[in-house]
Amino acid sequence: SQRIALIPAAGHGSRFGTATPKQYQLLHGQPLLAHTVNVLCGCAAIDRVVVVISPGDEWFDSYSWPQAKLEVLRAGGASRAQSVANGLAALAADEDDWVLVHDAARCCLSPDALQRLLDEVGDDAIGGILAQPVADTVKQGKVGRIAATVPRDNLWLAQTPQMFRAGLLAEALQDAANPAITDEASAIELLGHAPRLVVGEAQNFKVTWPGDLALAAAILAARHA
Ligand code: C5P
């Protein structure tokens, strides 16, 4: 069976606050998406890397994409889950192929964390995800006032890649419009399965807010220094 990386990159980045979506913001002269693509294409254990962009994407074609393993699908949907479901449907993957869904916006994923996920999931019956133990104290409440403190032991922040067999993932994402599905693991959990948790890394954060670009640039610079 093959290992296929599927990168949803069809978001508008509304929290990011720029007209150009965050996946096309430049980092060291390359779009953020190119850094993400390079990490996955650089992994010898991954056979195909497929990017899902929006049908109305005006940016992808203005860059060159020399990576031999790279494929692009103009199949983005209204939500991240829908973009992943559309991409998966167009992949022509075998049921048993592994699909590693990875956010375009997590451009600082390290080769080590990616390899750890591949090693620890191995040929698990379900699959698994990278996740980071919660370090901060967690508060519940609306802006303005605390309602409660949530015990943080056993709390994890889900990252990507999230790695599942193509057949199981397609079944789980049949209801991609369900708002409870905020990542692939949550869809798999709704089927009654318990995906593996593999320790990720703080650096594998999702570029979301305007200041995040400078942080990502610093992480990538330190790695390539
Ligand atoms: O918006 P957020 O940062 O949670 O998006 C996570 C990833 O999902 C991003 O890489 C984004 O481009 C992608 N996405 C997508 N289709 C959407 C919304 C988000 O592919 N409709």
Domain residue ranges in the chain: 3-129+156-224
Range in 16-20, 33-37, 198-202, 203-207 with the lowest mean pLDDT: 16-20
Query: Is any ligand 1 atom within 6 A of the Cβ of residue 23?
Result: yes
Q: Is 28 left (phi over 0), alpha (psi -120 to 50) or beta?
A: left
Give mean pLDDT, residues 97-109: 98
Instruction: Yes or no: say if 182 and 82 are a contact pair by the CB < 8 Å rule.
Output: no
13-45 pLDDT, tens digit per residue, is 788 888 899 999 999 999 999 999 999 999 999
What does the pLDDT read at residue 14?
80
Query: Is any ligand 1 atom within 6 A of the Cβ of residue 83?
Result: yes
What does the pLDDT read at residue 176?
94
Give mean pLDDT, residues 102-106: 98
For residue 127, the CA-to-ligand 1 centroid distance in Å is 21
For residue 29, the CA-to-ligand 1 centroid distance in Å is 22
41-67 pLDDT, tens digit per residue, is 999 999 999 999 999 999 999 999 999
What does the pLDDT read at residue 24?
96
Closest residue by CA, ligand 1 atom 7: 103
Q: Which residue carries 């692009």 as its tokens?
A: 72
Average pLDDT value over all residues in the chain: 96
Closest residue by CA, ligand 1 atom 11: 11
Within a 10 A sphere around the Cβ of 34, how many other Cβ atoms? Answer: 23
What does the pLDDT read at residue 167?
98
For residue 191, the CA-to-ligand 1 centroid distance in Å is 23
Give mean pLDDT, residues 197-224: 95
pLDDT band for 12, please (50, 70, 90 cuts).
Answer: confident
For residue 219, the CA-to-ligand 1 centroid distance in Å is 21
Is residue 132 over pLDDT 90? Answer: yes
Q: Which residue carries 């096309």 as its tokens?
A: 24
pTM of this structure: 0.97
Handedness of CA 166, 171, 172, 174 (dihedral sign): positive
For residue 121, the CA-to-ligand 1 centroid distance in Å is 24
The yes/no answer on whether domain 3-129+156-224 falls in CATH 3.90.550.10 is yes
What does the pLDDT read at residue 105?
97
